[in-house]
């Protein structure tokens, strides 16, 4: 008995042809013919049908002769499976045939027909897409089953389509499911006399309202009024029934108000408008509670945590405009309405607390989520990630490790419960492997790297923390489809919001940043340079596209220069797996860029020295300075260089100014314009990056280079005022010191030369940063490092002048900065042996600064060495005042505990 293995049958060039006569089946090869009529789909369809008939006929004959019932059932199942597969193949072939038929149609004629119905449709499509793409989109729309011109679709209910009476408008606004524009639809409905009267409330709830998004403020009001009018007519004039507003309507209005946080500008006026609208809607709900009571309302008329979540989410998204009292106001509504916040609500509150730097409140929310012990409220990985962000800000590696182990245990328990689909905590639908994400592992490595920068924070375990951080990196490398050593994609310019980043590309950025941090704080310049080169070299520059690099990545590169120690062995070279990873990354870097050039795009090639390792201090100083200039002036962009006639601009600025204050204001605006014309990167040119750049010169023991960098890329507010004042007074003085740092042989210089120098200094303000507390503190650190008394006194004096400026008075942390600077001054005098001056600083500031022993420890030890008993007694008396207060507070706490025991 002959049988066929139907399940394993593959469609090849060999076909079975069944003749009309009753002769035996025969096989023949189908040769390639030079001319074949019909389409490819026709040929495939015909062959599939002939092939299927031959197999089925022959198998039926064999099954008739079969006497075994089990074998017969098996053959029937085989035939059923083959029939199912054959139908699927036939369906695909018919779809291809239909698509090829549509492709052969005249696209121009089709566009003419669409234009004849409404010219605006064609113009909208032409503006949003190019000609070829729009033609393809029109063809696909015509070929699809949802084409509104060919078949009836479900874009809108039939009743609303009848009210609008313009199918072209509906198609234009709603055809693109990813970017639907509901504003014209709502406007058209509000202008009609019927409005929403032709649809029942239930149809509105399920067929129309849930899909409306991204409405403008005007259309939100129109929709709200239409819904209120529809609810009023629902009960034939009973005004009290208007208060029973279905929650589907509420959620639609709240959701569109939430969308305004991204669609509308985040101004104070818009913020206050949305809050007033929230209060208006909640007042309507309060009226329904007064009328019917909480027990008298059905579930569909009751507020829930999703709708209230829109309120707190909107406030959290508003950033600096949001206030705690407003957030607490809406949080009180939860308890007022008897609503229990869900996981998303708690996560939003945690993120809001983190943005406001209120970490204690964030930990309280997190503990509450765990305390509830309900799956619906249990924190998920997103919540754990938010808490790890706090650990990163506080450099609390111990707490971070505890949180990660807790999250990992939850995933391990989830794996054991996977068969029953009962997870001990919320599992995201995107989680496939039930393990911490790459983003979480990268953050753990970043926290450990950041904690290892200071021996006090790391408790003397800096090397161990970095080694543990690399362990998480190796765990990422061991996963499938992750190649850390390969160059990431173009998404690493995280400020480019329109680049269409995918999750994998963002993961590459997080991993790369964690590796940069580990290499930077370890002083591994070779690895940090290679990683940063991979970061920037894969960002393609096309046309005049503006690219904003991540400032933190550049800061880590500068930090690796400042922490470089030529006698230090990197952590990765201490074990085989790390050594292989490091050598693999270094070998894949070509600093010359020969392997990176492409025809239609340009890549960013930073001015790195063409060598894998840097071995001298001079090379570090030269390369760091070249990189700073390269990034600050955006030398990697294709933008045309504009020659700025700054002297002509200054003269014009003087002519339009009436007095010195107006001249000063106009000059600030002019400097801002110079920055734009010079393409200065404001994101990268910040105080944090400048301090790291300056610290590199300190680490390399080059005082001259430090002073040159400080003078070139920073300025003092009094210095700018002097330059502007002298420019306004037309240089009436003949003796003016130059601010360029260039020495001159003659004391009296030509007024015209002074004028040019002064104006060039004003023009250089476009890439200079105002010296603030951080830079003064770093300069005092330089004075201590170089043991330069004159530099220390000069910085101390200038810092005193800075305390009188507007920038210092508006600094919310000025008291803390004063305390830190005072400690640095005491350390400076102690290092140089001027112990009397150090004591004078402490005694003169004891009314304003709470001195503690750790702040004066070095001074106390120095006084012990010279046995200055009198100064020691004074110093300890000053530091013990705080200790007495501390003991007094302990006694008060002890008394309160005794009362609690009673």
Q: Are residues 610 and 659 in the same domain?
A: no
- Whether the per-residue pLDDT at 387 is higher than 50: the answer is yes
E-strand ranges in 555-634 read 602-603
Phi-psi region of 26 (alpha: psi -120 to 50; beta: other; left: phi over 0): beta
Domain assignment present for residue 693? The answer is yes
| Contact call for residues 62 and 3 (beta carbons, < 8 A) | yes
Give residue for tokens 């020495």: 743
Predicted pLDDT of residue 751: 66
Predicted pLDDT of residue 697: 93
Q: Are residues 691 and 615 in the same domain?
A: no
Q: Are residues 707 and 808 in the same domain?
A: yes
Domain assignment present for residue 576? The answer is yes
Domain assignment present for residue 770? The answer is yes
Q: Are residues 663 and 628 in the same domain?
A: no
Question: Rounded CA gap, 819 and 845, in Å?
Answer: 9
Any idea what the Cα angle at residue 208 is, between residues 205 and 213, rounded to 5°? 110
Residue that terminates a domain, selected from 612, 634, 656? 634
Q: Are residues 680 and 545 in the same domain?
A: no
What letter does residue 26 receive in the DSSP assignment?
Answer: E
Domain assignment present for residue 334? The answer is no
Distances (CA, A) of 4 to 23, 41, 79: 19, 26, 10
Q: Are residues 621 and 682 in the same domain?
A: no
Domain assignment present for residue 443? The answer is no
Residue that terminates a domain, selected from 590, 609, 634? 634
Predicted pLDDT of residue 398: 92
Domain assignment present for residue 845? The answer is yes
Residue among 399, 524, 404, 527 nearest 457 (CA): 399
| Contact call for residues 160 and 152 (beta carbons, < 8 A) | no
Q: Are residues 563 and 704 in the same domain?
A: no
Q: Which pair of tokens denotes residue 564?
A: 């470089």
Per-residue pLDDT band for 884 (boundaries 50, 70, 90) equals low
Number of structural domains the chain divides into: 2
Question: Rounded CA gap, 677 and 367, in Å?
Answer: 51
Q: Are residues 701 and 625 in the same domain?
A: no
Distances (CA, A) of 75 to 61, 72, 471: 12, 5, 56
Predicted pLDDT of residue 572: 92
| Contact call for residues 417 and 443 (beta carbons, < 8 A) | no
Q: Are residues 518 and 604 in the same domain?
A: yes
Q: Which helix (H) or strand (E) holds 817?
A: helix 814-831
Q: What is the pLDDT of residues 540-592, one digit of tens each?
A: 666 556 677 888 999 999 999 999 988 889 999 999 999 999 999 998 888 88
What letter does residue 204 receive in the DSSP assignment?
Answer: I
Q: Please give the residue that has the higher pLDDT: either 227 or 11.
A: 227
Domain assignment present for residue 804? The answer is yes
User: What mean pLDDT is predicted for residues 148-156?
Assistant: 52
Q: What is the pLDDT of residues 219-266, one digit of tens each?
A: 898 888 888 887 776 554 444 444 456 778 888 888 888 888 877 777
User: What mean pLDDT is predicted for residues 29-45?
Assistant: 42
Q: Are residues 678 and 764 in the same domain?
A: yes
Which residues, including other chains, have CB under 8 Å from residue 739's CB and lie 6 or more apart? Answer: 719, 723, 757, 758, 761
Q: Are residues 540 and 622 in the same domain?
A: yes
| Contact call for residues 155 and 174 (beta carbons, < 8 A) | yes
- Whether the per-residue pLDDT at 733 is higher than 50: the answer is no
Q: At what angle do helices 617-632 and 703-713 cross, to 10 degrees?
A: 0
Domain assignment present for residue 676? The answer is yes
Domain boundaries, position 689: 646-734+755-863
Q: Are residues 522 and 660 in the same domain?
A: no
Residue that terminates a domain, selected from 584, 612, 634? 634
């Amino acid at each position: 008995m002959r049988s066929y293995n139907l399940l394993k049958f593959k469609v090849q060039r060999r076909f079975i042809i069944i003749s009309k006569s009753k002769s035996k089946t025969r096989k023949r090869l189908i040769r390639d013919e030079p001319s074949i009529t019909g389409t490819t789909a026709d040929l495939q369809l015909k062959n599939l049908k002939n092939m299927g008939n031959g197999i089925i006929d022959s198998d039926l004959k064999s099954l008739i002769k079969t006497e075994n019932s089990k074998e017969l059932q098996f053959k029937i199942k085989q035939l059923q499976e083959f029939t199912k597969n054959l139908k699927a193949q036939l369906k695909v072939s018919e779809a291809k045939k239909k698509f090829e038929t549509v492709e052969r149609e005249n696209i121009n004629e089709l566009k003419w027909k669409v234009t004849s119905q409404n010219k605006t449709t064609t113009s909208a499509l032409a503006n949003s897409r190019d000609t070829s793409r729009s033609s393809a989109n029109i063809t696909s729309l015509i070929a699809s089953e949802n084409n509104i011109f060919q078949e009836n679709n479900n874009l809108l209910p039939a009743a609303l389509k009848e009210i609008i009476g313009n199918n072209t408008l509906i198609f234009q606004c709603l055809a693109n499911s990813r970017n639907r524009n509901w504003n014209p639809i709502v406007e058209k409905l509000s202008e009609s006399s019927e409005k929403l009267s032709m649809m029942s409330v239930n149809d509105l709830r399920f067929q129309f309202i849930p899909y409306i998004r991204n409405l403008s403020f005007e259309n939100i009001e129109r929709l709200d009024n239409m819904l209120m009018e529809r609810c009023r007519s629902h009960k034939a004039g009973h005004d009290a029934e208007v208060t029973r507003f279905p929650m589907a309507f509420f959620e639609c209005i709240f959701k569109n108000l939430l969308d305004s946080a991204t669609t509308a500008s985040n101004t104070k006026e818009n913020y206050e408008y949305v809050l007033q609208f929230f209060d208006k809607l909640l007042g309507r709900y309060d009226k329904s509670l007064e009328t019917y009571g909480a027990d008298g309302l059905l579930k569909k008329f009751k507020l829930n945590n999703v709708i209230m979540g829109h309120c707190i989410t909107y406030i959290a998204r508003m950033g600096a405009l949001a206030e705690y009292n407003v957030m607490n106001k809406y949080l009180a509504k939860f308890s007022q309405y008897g609503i229990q916040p869900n996981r998303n609500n708690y996560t939003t509150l945690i993120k809001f607390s983190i943005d406001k730097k209120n970490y204690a409140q964030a930990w309280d929310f997190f503990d509450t989520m765990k305390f509830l012990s309900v799956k619906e409220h249990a924190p998920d990985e997103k919540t754990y990630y938010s808490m790890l962000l706090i650990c990163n800000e506080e450099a609390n590696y111990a707490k971070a490790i505890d949180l990660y182990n807790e999250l990992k245990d939850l995933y391990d328990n989830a794996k054991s419960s996977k068969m029953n689909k009962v997870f001990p905590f919320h599992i995201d639908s995107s989680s496939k492997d039930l393990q911490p994400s790459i983003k979480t592992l990268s953050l753990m490595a970043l926290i450990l790297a950041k904690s290892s920068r200071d021996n006090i924070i790391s408790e003397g375990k800096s090397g161990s923390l970095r080694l543990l951080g690399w362990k998480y990196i190796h765990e990422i490398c061991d996963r499938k489809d992750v190649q850390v050593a390969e160059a990431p994609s173009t998404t690493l310019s995280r400020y480019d919001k329109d680049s269409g980043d995918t999750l994998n590309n963002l993961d590459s950025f997080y991993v790369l940043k964690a590796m940069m941090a580990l290499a930077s704080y370890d002083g591994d310049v070779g690895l940090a340079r290679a990683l940063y080169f991979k970061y920037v070299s894969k960002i393609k520059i096309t046309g005049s596209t503006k690219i904003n690099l991540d400032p933190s990545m550049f800061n880590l590169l500068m930090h690796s220069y400042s922490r470089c120690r030529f006698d230090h062995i990197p952590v990765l070279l201490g074990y085989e797996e790390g050594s292989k990873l490091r050598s693999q990354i270094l070998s894949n870097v070509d600093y010359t860029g020969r392997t990176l050039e492409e025809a239609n795009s340009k890549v960013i090639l930073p001015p790195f020295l063409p060598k894998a390792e840097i071995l001298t201090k001079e090379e570090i100083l030269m390369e760091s300075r070249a990189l700073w200039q390269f990034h600050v002036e955006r030398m990697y962009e294709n933008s045309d260089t504009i020659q700025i006639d700054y002297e002509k601009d200054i003269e014009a600025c003087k002519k339009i100014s009436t007095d010195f204050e107006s001249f000063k204001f106009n000059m600030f605006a002019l400097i801002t314009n110079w920055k734009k014309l010079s393409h200065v990167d404001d994101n990268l040119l910040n105080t944090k990056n400048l301090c790291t750049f300056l610290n590199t010169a300190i680490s390399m023991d080059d005082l001259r280079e430090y002073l040159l960098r400080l003078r070139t890329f920073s300025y003092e507010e009094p210095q700018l005022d002097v330059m502007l004042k002298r420019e306004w007074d037309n240089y009436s003085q003949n003796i003016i010191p130059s601010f360029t740092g260039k020495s001159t042989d003659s004391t009296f210089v030509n007024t015209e030369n002074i004028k040019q120098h002064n104006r060039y200094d004003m023009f250089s303000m476009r890439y200079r940063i105002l010296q603030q507390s951080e830079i003064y503190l770093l300069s005092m650190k330089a004075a201590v490092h170089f043991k330069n008394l004159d530099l220390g006194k000069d910085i101390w004096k200038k810092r005193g002048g800075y305390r009188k400026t507007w920038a210092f008075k508006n600094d919310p942390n000025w008291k803390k900065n004063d305390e830190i600077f005072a400690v640095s001054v005491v350390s400076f005098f102690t290092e140089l042996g001027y112990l009397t001056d150090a004591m004078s600083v402490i005694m003169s500031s004891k009314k304003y600064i709470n001195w503690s022993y750790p702040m004066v420890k070095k001074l106390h030890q120095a006084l012990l060495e010279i046995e200055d008993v009198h100064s020691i007694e004074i110093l300890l008396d000053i530091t013990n005042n705080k200790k007495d207060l501390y003991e007094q507070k302990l006694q008060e706490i002890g008394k309160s505990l005794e009362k609690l025991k009673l």
